[in-house]
Structure 1
């Protein structure tokens, strides 16, 4: 029997954060913290302790009326549940949605604009936590930053770290991606870039914000396809950006032209601090929200941070690789590689040398990728032990190692020179012409069919006593 999920109920009404939290609560996967947990450090500490086990809701953090929720994804299976599929269907479902997006549906009004604040005081009106020890202050970490192409009107959805700098100013890190491209276009036109920061959306919108999509490809349309129903959007009150009508909170503003202010340090996904530097600045014009909204936060560098970034990237990387190599079976961004830098690729190998071509294709797919390991179809790439075993038994450094110097990498990787990085590829596949038994994995015949309930005695202690007694005679 197929279990009903928030994604499967989307046709009955817009899927939102509240539907996902209700789903978790029904399955005892939502913990409730005591009232009054501190927004600085304490909230993140509790969330961090629970990050592999449970989502957690914080009522009245520091006495604030708006509750905070964290740990929306405590495992890969949770991601699958949020869009109504099994874990093995996760990447195919994401690929299908990316290939057949459903454009958003604009509506005249929505719950996210039930309450409007034009007189903005961010830290008074919103419960923004401070996460890691050396963070420079409170950060919005789970906000979907929606920017509108100033020439075409097409929107982009992404997540950026957003430091609260004053009552109505936010420091934002813009890496060389689509939001930055829109910002440069706006600068060329001599204007600020209109944006909105959406806090508290259905997990599908969070996931698609991390897709490696083309410029001017709206990630909210991919989310609609993922949910099976177009996302309802409303026009912001102070600019032309369209935002999800059933989100919890929206911050409306502009990325100012030519203005830079200090931002950082901030604990990032590589488990290090992104440094302090002069960065772009958002000036906030309004805050809108639902009645009794919920504020979603992600602990910087925590498990939710890694999972959220990993799965959508895997799907789009798989799609990219299969365009040239249909024999690519699966991909995985490993947790040890921060779900960004290290990629394992499973293939049905047809030709020697092919793994190196696949490595080069993967390096070109996204600049974050620093290491690629290509393995055969008999390797479980969800297991770090299996990947290491393949490298140990099917890889020789003088023959199977590829190193590329001077390539663009992640500027958040502290080993790079302002983002200039080297790339490493490992061919951990068996030669096509190898004798049949040379790389044949051993197995015990019948292991998968053993029924332990019938194979083992019901009362082992009595059997052990009897065997020991017989051994003494």
Structure 2
């Protein structure tokens, strides 16, 4: 693989999907797969094997005319590059955009590439190449669709990514967790009204990332996308509703989430790398599909790096901002990949008082209910390196003194361990018991005051400044066997 990667500050931000894909291709990070790869399992298998190394582009998958792309946001460094900042400034750049959103700018239909082609009364499965990913998935799933809806009371939009099972010509089942879209739908359903939605597939990397921002209920993530772009995002009104969508999108599915209707959805392989159960979910009735001429379909392979990073980086930015409001000495945070980018948080602090890490742990658990384990380390530990974090736990943590356990707290409903030991003869536990979890915090910090060098991290002076290229004599060879022969000349 060509590892040549241009300096991020000279190339970004990338505000157009096709320009970003072209950039990956030009720098050896796009694999073009042979034509006709099956949409059922094989496409996802190839994308998974390339995960974090190269994005994958699939021409004519399953004989479909619309190509599929996957994995174009599967490394943290790539995401920083797309934003146009060094990796160390990634969270701060995202925070700045979330704090200073830019209102979008509406354009007419004739200026919106996403409405160049319009389909009505067509089978979604014929129009779009929707893959089936994991072994036990109950059919094809849209996994990279931005679901955009308007608050029935205020008209302000929300953007999220939800898994959507395409199970008939014009019906799709959707999983809504208890967040903003779910709240919008509950309000609409209480009025016996459908909730208008748009499912946007194929969008620039910055808007894709902005869709995952942890923002208040009446904050439109498309405005955060505009701030990341450095200019108001162009949007267009849907043909069948008042929902506004990014005008430069590849594909838009317009529809309505029906009141009082539930249909079977699942099982589906989710981000914890387990399957969620088959249950009855809310249903989207498709009204129209619009797209660019020659569109590109984006799919995310569940539980792989593109999936995990898109969820974890916006959460990290939000968690860091939340913690620094009360603890300015919090320096950095990281949602570990081993904790599926959601459940395990590492926090770096410059410790000033004994007991302070435990306060930080409690504040972190209050910031997001998904968190299950929090480890606090000192400022000499790199939180993005799990080996360093484990070293801190091994040498600075004692369970009888430094462990915090909180029982019976709200956790992730997608964590299968939360239902262990519960016996529900009718299948899934009732909603009010789903995700009931224990939380664990580990204070892996050294004492503020300690004797001499007991807790001083070992280092060799000048190790950071060594230029190995200059130090190594690549022209010289030593004949070790000759030097070891008795009587040989030195």
Query: Which TM-score applies when normalising by structure 2?
Result: 0.93
Secondary structure at the aligned position of 2:455 is classed as coil
User: How do residues 245-264 of structure 1 correspond to structure 2 at under 5 angstroms?
Assistant: 245-264=247-266
* 2:462 counterpart residue number: 446
Task: Summarize deviations over 1:82-123 as a string: whole Å, max 9, x none.
Answer: 111110110010011111011111111200000111113110
Aligned length: 467
Q: Determine which of 165, 182, 204 is the counterpart of 2:206.
A: 204
Shift of 1:449: 2.9
The alignment status of 1:7 with 2:13, answered yes or no, reads yes
Task: Summarize deviations over 1:173-205 as a string: whole Å, max 9, x none.
Answer: 010011001111112222111100000001111
Q: Distance in 2 between matches of 1:459 and 1:334?
A: 42
Q: Distance in 2 between matches of 1:461 and 1:373?
A: 47
Q: Determine which of 166, 169, 177 is the counterpart of 2:168.
A: 166
Q: Distance in 2 between matches of 1:6 and 1:17?
A: 12
User: How do residues 38-437 of structure 1 correspond to structure 2 at under 5 angstroms?
Assistant: 38-109=38-109, 110-417=112-419, 418-437=434-453
Higher alpha-carbon deviation: 72-81 or 419-428: 72-81
* Aligned CA distance change for structure 1 residues 160 and 471 (closer, same or farther; 3 Å): farther
Task: Summarize deviations over 1:368-391 as a string: whole Å, max 9, x none.
Answer: 100000000000111110000000
Shift of 1:467: 3.2
Q: Distance in 1 between matches of 2:466 and 2:482?
A: 25
In structure 1, stretches of 5+ residues that fail to align are: 9-14
* 1:457 counterpart residue number: 473
Q: Distance in 2 between matches of 1:87 and 1:432?
A: 30
Q: Distance in 2 between matches of 1:139 and 1:440?
A: 52
**Are the aligned partners of 2:330 and 2:347 in contact in 1 as well (CA < 8 Å)?**
yes
* 1:11 counterpart residue number: none
Task: Summarize deviations over 1:132-153 as a string: whole Å, max 9, x none.
Answer: 0110000000000001101101
Q: Distance in 2 between matches of 1:458 and 1:19?
A: 40
* Aligned CA distance change for structure 1 residues 137 and 471 (closer, same or farther; 3 Å): farther
Task: Summarize deviations over 1:68-92 as a string: whole Å, max 9, x none.
Answer: 0000123110010111111011001
Higher alpha-carbon deviation: 186-195 or 450-459: 450-459
Task: Summarize deviations over 1:354-377 as a string: whole Å, max 9, x none.
Answer: 111111111111111000000000
Shift of 1:455: 3.4
Secondary structure at the aligned position of 1:280 is classed as strand
Q: Distance in 2 between matches of 1:168 and 1:215?
A: 29
* 2:427 counterpart residue number: none
Q: Distance in 1 between matches of 2:57 and 2:469?
A: 40
* Aligned CA distance change for structure 1 residues 446 and 33 (closer, same or farther; 3 Å): same
Higher alpha-carbon deviation: 443-452 or 264-273: 443-452
**Are the aligned partners of 2:9 and 2:85 in contact in 1 as well (CA < 8 Å)?**
no
**Are the aligned partners of 1:129 and 1:139 in contact in 2 as well (CA < 8 Å)?**
yes
4+ runs deviating over 6 angstroms: none
Q: Distance in 2 between matches of 1:34 and 1:341?
A: 37
Shift of 1:309: 0.9
Secondary structure at the aligned position of 1:415 is classed as helix
Shift of 1:427: 0.4
**Are the aligned partners of 2:117 and 2:293 in contact in 1 as well (CA < 8 Å)?**
yes
**Are the aligned partners of 1:6 and 1:19 in contact in 2 as well (CA < 8 Å)?**
no
Q: Distance in 2 between matches of 1:445 and 1:293?
A: 56
* 2:35 counterpart residue number: 35
Query: Which TM-score applies when normalising by structure 1?
Result: 0.96
**Are the aligned partners of 1:373 and 1:425 in contact in 2 as well (CA < 8 Å)?**
yes
Q: Distance in 2 between matches of 1:436 and 1:209?
A: 49
* Aligned CA distance change for structure 1 residues 183 and 442 (closer, same or farther; 3 Å): same
Shift of 1:446: 2.3
**Are the aligned partners of 1:344 and 1:375 in contact in 2 as well (CA < 8 Å)?**
yes
- CA RMSD between the two structures: 1.4
Shift of 1:236: 0.3
Shift of 1:453: 3.7
**Are the aligned partners of 2:258 and 2:285 in contact in 1 as well (CA < 8 Å)?**
yes
Shift of 1:451: 3.1
Q: Distance in 2 between matches of 1:125 and 1:471?
A: 80
Shift of 1:431: 1.2
* 1:12 counterpart residue number: none
**Are the aligned partners of 1:120 and 1:284 in contact in 2 as well (CA < 8 Å)?**
no
Q: Distance in 1 between matches of 2:230 and 2:311?
A: 22
Shift of 1:436: 4.0
